[in-house]
């Protein structure tokens, strides 16, 4: 089961991702905690804007398989397909970010 799932995720070609579908899903399922702009709305949630796509995919796969556990994320990720995950990753990783003055300088 875990192996089949890993194989299924590995087979998703990045080029097939649909950023509009990802945005719609993000608005419906993620924005309340992570923000539609990828800047978190609750203290417990991390920012997702502009995050590395490999990293995002790895974390979402880990929530899906149960390897990474979080009460909020496990509920959210459960019904999502591998295409949904690819679309969401394309959306959040594609949000442009810019960095201001660095602290401690």
User: Which residues of the shown chain bind ligand HEC in the complex (CB under 6 A)?
Assistant: 29-30, 32-34, 44-46, 48, 56, 59-60, 70, 72-73, 76, 88
> Closer to ligand HEC at the Cβ: 6 or 81?
81
Helix, strand, coil shares of the chain, percent, nearest 5, are 55, 0, 45
In angstroms, how far apart are the furthest CA atoms of the chain?
50
> Closer to ligand HEC at the Cβ: 16 or 41?
41
> Closer to ligand HEC at the Cβ: 71 or 101?
71
DSSP assignment letter at 37: T
Residue 105 CB, shortest distance to ligand HEC, in Å, is 25
The candidate with the shortest Cα–Cα distance to 29, out of 63, 66, 58, is 63
């Amino acid at each position: 089961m875990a192996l089949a799932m890993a194989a299924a995720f590995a087979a998703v070609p990045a080029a097939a991702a649909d950023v509009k579908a990802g945005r719609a899903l993000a608005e419906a399922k993620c924005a309340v905690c992570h923000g539609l702009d990828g800047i978190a709305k609750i203290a417990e949630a991390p920012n997702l804007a502009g995050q590395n796509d490999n990293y995002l995919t790895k974390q979402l796969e880990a929530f899906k398989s149960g390897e990474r556990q979080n009460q909020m994320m496990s509920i959210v990720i459960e019904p999502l397909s591998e295409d949904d995950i690819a679309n969401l990753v394309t959306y959040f990783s594609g949000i442009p970010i810019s960095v201001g003055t660095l602290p401690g300088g």
